[in-house]
Amino acid sequence: MAKIKSEKKAPQGLFKKCPKCDYSIYSKELEENLWVCPKCNYYFRLDSRRRLDLLIDKGTFKEHDSNLTATDPLKFEDRISYTKRLDQYKNKTNLNEAVLSGEAAIADSKIIISILDFSFMGGSMGAVVGEKICRAIDRAIKFRVPLILVSSSGGARMQEGIVSLMQMAKTSAAISRLSEERIPYFSLMCDPTSGGVSASYAMLGDVNISEPGALIAFAGPRVIKQTINEELPPGFQRAEFLLDHGMLDMVVERDNLRETFKKLIVFFSDKENRQ
């Protein structure tokens, strides 16, 4: 009896399925399209390294505070201990925490930049994330260069309890010091930016920017709908809705972000020189 040949399967990772329209996209094509679905324009979430490559001049990034790691002050456990959960995410992402910070350049202009990484515990803000962001702010003041903070977060980290909630006040106070020094701060909010991050430093930029379709909220739309028991407006809490209602200054497509930051840096630099 003749043997039946088994079907050949496509190598794993060769295609990505769009979460919005279920379209299967060739991974290389998706990368060339900056991880935006060519069929429905859905914006895939980017990790911090890919986001960094998209925004800055190649080869200019110098990381700061990479040695800072979270402790477990509450000895928190759910299915596993907080310490073990941190170890899992460190191995998964090759990051020590949910934020990547450092100095870099955009169009040869020096900046300080911090990027939250949603793949590390949902980009949640604990004590170390708050500390790294405050150190980034302090460096922007010290060197008198623009600050860019990129958010993609589920909010404050529940495993650190009140310690994580304190970071909302801590980072907001640091942004106030930056404002007093007249150092420009550009906030880029990506999908999703929510909870304690949206309620603190993320919404305090001199210019607040988002990518198309990003969810930006304190409480999510399902929670609000269940609480008030009413139908919410179409596109509620999405970037375009917030832009229409004065909560954002710009909604910028991914391939235009770097050029947008370049223009903002030049504009604010010229403005400071005129004063």
- What does the domain layout of the chain look like in residue ranges? 13-44, 46-274
Give yes or no for residue 274 having a pLDDT over 90. Answer: no
pLDDT per residue as tens digits for the range 196-253: 999 999 999 999 999 999 999 999 888 898 999 988 888 999 999 999 999 999 999 9
pLDDT score of 6 = 47
Residue with tokens 């909604």: 251
Angle, CA 48 vertex, CA 46 and CA 49 arms, to 5°: 100
CA distance 178 to 172: 10
Structure tokens given for 33: 């399209």
Query: What CATH number was assigned to the domain covering residues 46-274?
Result: 3.90.226.10
Distance of CA 24 to the CA centre of its chain: 25
Q: What is the DSSP string of 124-187?
A: -B-HHHHHHHHHHHHHHHHHT--EEEEEEE--B-GGGHHHHHHHHHHHHHHHHHHHHTT--EEE
pLDDT per residue as tens digits for the range 174-203: 999 999 999 999 999 999 999 999 999 999
